[in-house]
Amino acid sequence: MPRIVIKSATGPFEVKTPKGDSVWICGCGLTDNPDGTCNGNHKKLNVAEEDPDKLYQYDDGERLEVAELVDEKDKDDEDEDDDEDDDDCCGKGCCGGGCGGGRGECCDDEKD
């Protein structure tokens, strides 16, 4: 089954063997080495030049921009702002759906 794995590292991770030798493990996900060690593709494909706010796909050594990334925290803040708009609603359904029915007021406000 194919799957998408998102990697954000732009280079390898160093791991020390018990003998003190360094092994460089691919962090970018673009190595062709079956053991997962870095083969230098991160440099060949200029992974460090990627825009951190975008999502890329690599196909046969070609980088393709897939999407803009949305910060989930910013999205949650927007959702909270939307919820705040409903705080003035009386909840009786008189507003025709959204609070105020686009008028910015509820039936309770109209009585005043």
Number of residues that bind ligand FES (CB under 6 A): 12
- Residue 25's nearest CA partner among 14, 16, 10, 17 is 14
41 lines the binding site for ligand FES (CB under 6 A): yes
DSSP string, 23-90: EEE-SSS----TT-B--SHHHHTTGGGS-TTEEEEEETTEEEEEEE---HHHHHHHHHHHHHHGGG--
Q: Which of residues 49-108 bind ligand FES (CB under 6 A)?
A: none
Q: Is 3 helix (H, G, I), strand (E, B) or coil?
A: coil
Q: Which residue has the tokens 């020390």?
A: 16
From the list 14, 17, 28, 101, which residue makes contact with ligand FES (rule: CB under 6 A)?
Answer: 28
Q: Which is nearer to ligand FES, 26 or 106 (CB)?
A: 26
Options 42, 89, 99, 100; binder of ligand FES; rule CB under 6 A: 42
Select 41 or 56, whichever has its Cβ closest to ligand FES.
Answer: 41
Contacts with ligand FES by CB under 6 A lie at 11-12, 26-28, 30-31, 38-42
